[in-house]
Structure 1
Amino acid sequence: MEEEKKEEEMALFTKNYMEWKGGGKRDYSYNNIPRFYYRLPAEDEVLQQKLREESRAVFLQRKSRELLDNEELQNLWFLLDKHQTPPMIGEEAMINYDNFLKVGEKAGAKCMQFFTARVFAKLLHSDPYGRISIMQFFNYVMRKGKIKIQDILACSFLDDLLELRDEELSKESQESNWFSAPSALRVYGQYLNLDKDHNGMLSKEELSRYGTGTFTNVFLDQVYQGCLTYDGEMDYKTYLDFVLALENRKEPAALQYIFKLLDIENKGYLNVFTLNYFFRDEIFDMVKPKDPCKITLQDLVNSSQGDTVTSILIDLNGFWTYENREVLVANDNDSSADLDDT
């Protein structure tokens, strides 16, 4: 009896020991665990580098499509304003939960994430009628205070953020870094200088003095029609988007921002009429689009001339520089020759 008990214990021990070592019956679910680590391609692995760049670009495009564009934001504001619940508190429009849900049904699928009981409760404070501020909710939609870690890792601005850790970073590098204190002060200072009437907003006339003051009237009209404004004036948030796009015109996201302003017929491409509306037909020769009668955003990106083309279309100084490029090059050569002679 005792021998049988020892043999049973030994068999149980052996069974558990072998399973612990992996020698017994295996859990084949481990074979289904997806691979989560891929090494970065080396510099000489050109194909893998290109694949990584294309994958990242597709990912960012997919994420950008999830964001509300200016037209969708304007539609959301219109719906909120239409469904406001009286009485107003001073000049602030309010909305109750029933109308809040009605707006959510009409605003579209991309907005549904904001029309939840949790969001409403978060913005509900001490209103006696159980309402929330329309402006406060709208600001919540535009400035939702969360960024996913994977989105940060996928974006190119992470390098700029990490660069700020260098305590010995030169003044020039700090000024060119969008996230640095000198850069923020520069942009904010520009905004204050443009705001001549000191009302905290920029009118079209005030924005026309931006930079060298050479924006075309046609382009400024499109800016104030296509961007989110309040009674025809631009706030600082919209101004930041505007400046960021203009200062990074080689980036696909910046080109997309400007492209929407240039696409006056909302067709998804720039045709002869559109370009004539702004300036010149010769732009087709610069871009060399797939379709000779229209220019798509992808054509603009592929041409590597996107920054030049958008400068020509929106900035008189950019157009003049392009038109006189041969003269400028000749002058530079003459200046270099004079320096060599001395």
Structure 2
Amino acid sequence: MDWKEILRRRLATPSTSPNKKKSEQELKDEEMDLFTKYYSEWKGGRKNTNEFYKTIPRFYYRLPAEDEVLLQKLREESRAVFLQRKSRELLDNEELQVGEKAGPKCKQFFTAKVFAKLLHTDSYGRISIMQFFNYVMRKVWLHQTRIGLSLYDVAGQGYLRESDLENYILELIPTLPQLDGLEKSFYSFYVCTAVRKFFFFLDPLRTGKIKIQDILACSFLDDLLELRDEELSKESQETNWFSAPSALRVYGQYLNLDKDHNGMLSKEELSRYGTATMTNVFLDRVFQECLTYDGEMDYKTYLDFVLALENRKEPAALQYIFKLLDIENKGYLNVFSLNYFFRAIQELMKIHGQDPVSFQDVKDEIFDMVKPKDPLKISLQDLINSNQGDTVTTILIDLNGFWTYENREALVANDNENSTDLDDT
């Protein structure tokens, strides 16, 4: 018989004093007393609830405070020992050469699960040895890199702050042959350039920290570690943000724009960026929304600006530009905001002796390209989903970009003619 049945029968028993009626409150008190008694017995006789809570295992350990030096040192040492143990569990170069005697470390790779992952279309149900070897190499590299990054995770919470990643890249530089030519005086600027790409794309909410898991999942670390290749082609270096030529190009552009040599960029100086055809309205928004110092932009803020404009197809870049275009901070672009920016394009066209294009036509083209869920509003997600975000933003902020879009058919025809002429020769 459970406690509910006991309680029901006890309350159903007639009172020993039938002539004395109990008040409603007395009945409630008796019911609560009986409930407490039988519930305690049913739970094993625990009358003190504190005893019950003591049986719950501890699942939270607070991080030591800054003034708790001893606890911090203990935590750092224990994490270092843990990471060293994990590192020893990985295959080294000799063990990766799979021979007749595969050690215990290899056991994790010789499983049905791994085999199924690598099995594709072989009619005999086989997997390639090279394919298997590359898989193991990749897994070992990921674990090694994760351990290496975790050594810089001061908080031990699975993420890196900006200063943590800066330390990691700074100590990585001497191990990358493609960066041998960098002057040590340029190291701090190189590190800043490299770190900004990670944080611009992996920390869109600007929390100041990135998950180590996200770093491993993206391709940026592959690009950075590609610089270990001593024979990396010139073309690969030019397209790799982390290469020495790329970093020197970006920093060189910054220095060239800085006409007064004060280490910062004013709005007038930034207006000469690229083809110097961005509208003043857009530049005003850049300096309103982005972090500046006495109305001027530092190198770190400039890097965000460059990353956004050079990667306009990427969601993080579109988010950056969308925030600037959303002048009313409503979370969408409407006809008013589109007209606000395109009027500046029309003004530049007049200045350059071109016949202004009708806003109504451009507005219709933009909505046709994006096809937003709401026919009167364009959200950031609409821009991303349309795969036309780079074209739309270019039309609104850059005269040269708009001219290229407007004359795209003529430019394509001209390119085709040039190709034909080259083939004939």
> Which TM-score applies when normalising by structure 1?
0.57
Structure 1 residue runs of 5 or longer lacking an equivalent are: 1-37, 46-112, 114-141
1:206 has 2:276 as partner: no
Query: What amino acid sits opposite 2:318 in the alignment?
Result: L
Deviation of 1:222 after TM superposition, in Å, equals 0.7
Root mean square deviation of aligned Cα: 2.8
Tell me which residue corresponds to 1:64: none
Matched, 1:219 2:282: yes
Structure 2 distance, partners of 1:41, 1:298, is 33
- What is the SS of the residue equivalent to 2:228? coil
Number of the residue aligned with 1:290: 373
**What code does the residue aligned with 2:372 have?**
P
Q: For 2:368 and 2:299, locate their aligned partners in 1 and report how far apart those are by CA, in whole Å.
A: 37
Q: CA separation in 1, counterparts of 2:271 and 2:333?
A: 24
Q: What is aligned with 1:329?
A: 412
C-alpha distance in structure 1 between counterparts of 2:320 and 2:381, whole Å: 13
Aligned counterparts of 1:41 and 1:270: Cα–Cα separation in 2: 45
Which amino acid in structure 1 is aligned with residue 394 of structure 2? S
Which residue type is aligned with residue 223 of structure 2?
D
- Report the Cα offset of residue 41 of structure 1: 6.8
Tell me: CA distance 1:252–1:162, structure 2 relative to 1, closer, same or farther (3 Å).
same
| 1:232 CA displacement | 0.9
The Cα offsets for residues 92-114 of structure 1, whole Å up to 9 and x where unpaired, read as xxxxxxxxxxxxxxxxxxxxx9x
Q: Decide which moves more: 165-174 or 284-293.
A: 165-174
Summarize deviations over 1:148-169 as a string: whole Å, max 9, x none. 4223113342232232222211
Distance 1:258 1:325 in 2: 23
Matched residues in 1 for 2:400 and 2:379: separation?
A: 24
Measured after TM superposition, the shift of residue 233 of structure 1 is 0.6
SS of residue paired to 1:198: coil
What is the SS of the residue equivalent to 1:164? helix
Alignment partner of 1:318 is 2:401: yes
What is the CA deviation profile of residues 48-69 of structure 1, one whole-angstrom value per residue up to 9, with x for unaligned ones? xxxxxxxxxxxxxxxxxxxxxx
Change over 3 Å in CA distance of 1:285–1:184 after alignment to 2: same
Query: For the residues of structure 2 that align with 1:250 and 1:299, how far apart are their CA atoms?
Result: 13
Distance in 1 between the 2:278 and 2:208 partners?
33
Change (3 A) 1:147 1:43: farther
Structure 1, residues 197-238: CA drift from partner, whole Å, max 9, x if none?
001110000000001111111111111111111111101110
Matched letter for residue 299 of structure 1: D
Whichever residue aligns with residue 170 of structure 1, its letter is: S
What amino acid is aligned across from residue 248 of structure 1 in structure 2? N
Partner of 1:277 in structure 2?
340
Please give the alpha-carbon distance, in whole angstroms, between the structure 2 residues aligned to 1:276 and 1:42. 54
Give 2:257's aligned residue: 194
- Structure 1 position 185 matched with structure 2 position 185: no
CA distance in 1: counterparts of 2:388 and 2:229, whole angstroms: 33
- Aligned match of 1:242 in 305, 310, 313? 305
Displacement of 1:241 in angstroms is 0.7
Residues 1:43 and 1:164: Cα distance change in structure 2 (over 3 Å): farther
Question: Paired residue for 1:254?
Answer: 317
Give the Cα–Cα distance (whole angstroms) in 1 for the partners of residues 284 and 423 of structure 2: 48
Structure 1 counterpart of 2:144: none
SS at match of 2:372: coil
Q: Percent identity?
A: 86
Task: Indicate whether 1:299 and 2:356 are aligned.
Answer: no
Residue type of the alignment partner of 2:375: P
Long gaps (5+) in structure 2: 1-112, 122-160, 162-204, 343-361
Distance in 1 separating the partners of 2:118 and 2:378 = 35
Give the CA deviation at 1:187: 0.6
